[in-house]
A and B are shown apart, each in its own frame.
Chain A
Amino acid sequence: MPKVTMTVNGTSASADVEPRTLLSQFLRDHLRLTGTHVGCDTSQCGACVVHVDGRAVKSCTTLAVQWNGASVTTIEGLASGDQLHPMQEAFREHHGLQCGFCTPGMIMAAVDMVNRHGGVPDEKTIREGLEGNICRCTGYHNIVKAIGAGAAAMTGGKQAAE
């Protein structure tokens, strides 16, 4: 079995895995980082989004062995100690979650969206940017609000360049 080594949430993690092991399985089953969820197995729902080398990746549809040597951040690694990431804080403040199952993927996708836009995206951009994340509870209303607020907190409120 191939050995996979990657940095996960700042810590080196290594395991011998079957070649078919998905990144989501590596995180959940080998590292017991169960904050990353699997909701659809077909890369539609986005509950499994993590950051790989700073970019959002759907971890249920990529092999762990593809990311040997990469740096992975999961929802468990987003806060700095007790200090929540501004996007986490915004989801709580704006009631951007109900059952919480899609939430880790939503937050990781939202942080990536803001990183890509470099400012506060408008509502239309946020809604289009959530095309790859499904929530069944919130009707997205408060997720959209939370992402706007989280983006403002992350970027000091400047508007995204269109």
Chain B
Amino acid sequence: MSKTGIGAPVRRLEDHRFITGAGNYTDDVNIAGQAYAAFARSEHAHASVRKVDASKAMKVAGVVAVFTGADLEKDAIGPLPAGWMIHSKDGSPMNAPGHPCLVQGKARYVGDPIAVVIGETQAAARAGAEALEIDYDVHEAVTDMMKTASSPIQLHDGAPKNTCYEWELGDKAATAAAFKQAKHVTKLQIINNRLVPNAMEPRSAVGDYDSGTGVSTVYTTSQNPHVARLVMSAFLNVAPEHKLRVIAPDVGGGFGSKIYVYPEEVVCTWAAKKVGRAVKWTAERTESFITDAHGRDHVTTAELATDERGKILALRVHTTANLGAYPSLFATCVPTYLYATLLSGQYDIPAIYAEVDAVYTNTVPVDAYRGAGRPEATFVVERLVEVCARELGIDPATFRKRNFVKKFPHQTPVIMMYDAGDYAASLNKACDIIDYKGFGKRKREAARRGKLRGIGFSTYIEACGIAPSAAVGSLGAGVGLWESAEVRVNPTGNVEILTGSHSHGQGHETTFAQLVSERLGIGIDQVSIVHGDTDKVQFGMGTYGSRSGAVGMTAISKALDKVEAKAKKIASHLLEAAEADIEFKDGAFSVSGTDKKVTFPEVALNAYVAHKFPSSEIEPGLKEGAFHDPANFTFPAGCHICEIEIDPETGVSEVVNWVAVDDFGIVINPMIVEGQVHGGIAQGVGQALLERAVYDDSGQLVTASYMDYCMPRADNLPSFKVDTTVTPCPSNPLGIKGCGEAGAIAAPPAVINAITDALGHENISMPATPQAVWQAVRKGMAKAAE
């Protein structure tokens, strides 16, 4: 292994600009003469907007213009679409009303944008928005996903029972038959709490229009600028695709929330043309809370059937998924194909049946958040398995091992074909590292200090490397999910990689350069990674679903194959040898069996000078592109074990020990991978212990700032022990499975399994706040006293 090649913990090349304040985030972009946008948002969760009176707003000093939904309608700016078609079990297509970028008729959640005020300064725009007089006809709101389907309140004309779809997956009859045979059934009611992604950089957009060229440009906080351009051109009619440039510069975290096209970047781009100057908008944090797509929010009934020896026979779930007020871009696939397809977990389960009802409520739209469906599935499976093991009196590690998938490939009853893995290896290694055998001693020692200590497992699996295009197309996806790359070798031998993946914290500028360094034998300082600009990169599907390594890097690898093949041809002319005799190693082409060689930069120069080969046979230049469409999903899996101590007097839970052993296949940069695991665990612990978005009955989000929504802070978390096992991924040449979401998927059930182990009963929901834990401790004591 070279110091900068695959597998090396290379320090990140992008860090210098971030640690010196030289990063370039969207809000750092300023265009001469720019104006500012402020959005007037619905203060009601459900209301018809009768009239927007802008006369007072227009008199506010510095206000340039006011636009409403009617102005968008006049210019045929379309509503935000749902990008994934789901059919109900009766065969009918989903009910997916579009989301107008400014309210046209009814506002359906607090924060729904009604009008935009453009001002000379941010303060003037905001003062103008305050001065707008909006006449509402306020309707009753419905925020409870369990009541919305039977509510007389109707959000959308085209969605009876406030329902998007009633979907199913799996064999209902076979599952019912297996349950009849079962000796034991474990049944749980599970709430997967609603979360706010909370990337630290608030969303922002700067729209600009060049009347000379007719090109609109928007700088925006996006995880996938090409998809944003496609949606804004093909569906929203903001500008034709070839006249629209989307730039996502440095982006300060995404976690899914920056995948989607939001009203604000659409309006800023459109308004820039209207007012003839650039228009900038940056969210305040509370605006982020009430407009960024939320995550999770399921209510589930789940049952697990086993035989007398604890062998799993079948699993059955019914889930209600809250989509919020509108179907966001990928929202409809999250509680279906990203959720129910993972309900087999790491286990050999003969029969599975899942029903999912997706419903609308007067709340912010819900879409993919780190893990997206897979954390919800893992929570269901890992809670069921843990509780079942406890009910049967079987050690939870033993119970898991007894039911693990052991032979690969493995076809689950819910679509997925697991390709490779060794689940027992991860579990055994995690048990060794945490000293599982010594847990009893640690528990007794904690008891002497007055603490309740518990241990919890989570053996998760996820489907990443999203995704094989034809497969997702057959399931309803509106797009293909391949990735593209271009390798541009310059005459001086350094290399630019243009990628459709987008980095917003993942470190692509380093890991992608490591691949190139390994392949071409040049230093990583000779490689630059270009991403996030639709004018530079031809096309790309962006970064989410842990896809950039498995899919994005494979596209680069394929383009490198082509570069190498062409360079070999050129080298054969330079070395006056047959092409078949040319070997490429350590950055040099040589004639096998001789000491004749030519370096990669020399070949690059000759490719452009084009003096020494017949250009009738070989085109000058050295630049190749590739599109890679994966053959399968990838299946990262692993085992996380959490130990918690509860103070029964205060209900405070402290995570005192955390071991993660993950199988991500081949790892490009272990330092970066560990960082991804740390961050994912923190978000999962946040979900389990601290975070919850809360709406009151009238539809006000009562947790809309960091004073009210409890983000994990440094003193809520321990240091983590992170390790790996490796089974290379067989479906891509690099063997990569992906690591971005694992922690967030694995962590919540590990925490809750540890807490319930400590409590001695299962009666606790997420987030297990000190108040909830204190009450659960009392409940346990009362039960014990009975």
Contact = CB atoms under 8 A, between A and B. Distances in A.
Interface in A104-141: 104, 107, 123-124, 126-128, 130-131, 133-141
A101 B201 CA distance: 6
Interface residues of A, number: 57
A139 B717 contact: yes
B714 A142 contact: no
B285 A101 contact: no
Contact of B12 (A36, A45, A92): A92
Contacts of A100: 14-15, 17-19, 23, 250, 252, 505
Nearest to A92: B15
A84 B30 CA distance: 27
A144 interface: yes
Nearest to B288: A40
Contacts of A139: 678-683, 712, 717, 720, 743
B253 A98 contact: yes
A34 interface: yes
B507 to A, nearest CB: 7
A140 to B, nearest CB: 4
B61 to A, nearest CB: 12
A26 interface: no
A88 interface: yes
Interface stretch (B39-47, B340-348, B703-711): B703-711
Contact of B22 (A35, A41, A97, A137): A35
Contacts of B199: 99, 101, 136
Residue of B25, B672, B743 contacting most chain A CB atoms (<10 Å): B25
A98 B253 CA distance: 8
Residue of A32, A100, A128, A142 contacting most chain B CB atoms (<10 Å): A100
What size tier do the contact residues of chain B reach?
35 or more
Contact of A98 (B286, B506, B683, B705): B506
Main secondary structure of the interface of B (DSSP, over half): loop
B707 A99 contact: no
B714 A45 contact: no
A121 B25 CA distance: 32
Interface in B722-758: 743
B21 A35 contact: yes
Interface string B1-32: 00000000001101111111111110110100
A70 to B, nearest CB: 19
Contacts of B504: 99
Contacts of B14: 100
Contacts of B707: 42, 44
Contacts of B12: 92, 95
Nearest to A90: B19
A143 B21 CA distance: 17
Nearest to B25: A101
B252 A101 contact: yes
B20 A42 contact: no
A103 interface: yes
A66 B200 CA distance: 27
A111 B630 CA distance: 46
Interface string A16-54: 001010000000100011111111111011010000000
Nearest to A130: B714
B681 A97 contact: no
Nearest to A89: B19
A79 interface: yes
B255 A136 contact: yes
Given A42-B705, A88-B20, A142-B678, A93 B715 contact: no
Contact of B719 (A47, A79, A144): A144
B128 interface: no
Interface of A: 18, 20, 28, 32-42, 44-45, 47, 74-76, 78-79, 84, 88, 91-93, 95, 97-104, 107, 123-124, 126-128, 130-131, 133-145
Given A78-B20, A98-B675, A139-B680, 12 more contacts: A35-B21, A37-B201, A76-B20, A97-B15, A104-B18, A104-B21, A107-B19, A130-B714, A134-B706, A137-B679, A138-B675, A142-B678
28 contacts: A20-B123, A32-B30, A34-B27, A35-B23, A37-B201, A39-B201, A41-B285, A42-B706, A47-B200, A78-B20, A79-B20, A98-B253, A98-B505, A99-B252, A100-B18, A101-B200, A104-B19, A123-B719, A127-B715, A131-B714, A131-B715, A134-B706, A136-B200, A136-B711, A137-B675, A137-B679, A141-B678, A143-B714
Interface of B: 11-12, 14-25, 27-28, 30, 123, 198-202, 250-253, 255, 284-286, 504-507, 671-672, 674-675, 678-683, 705-707, 711-715, 717, 719-720, 743
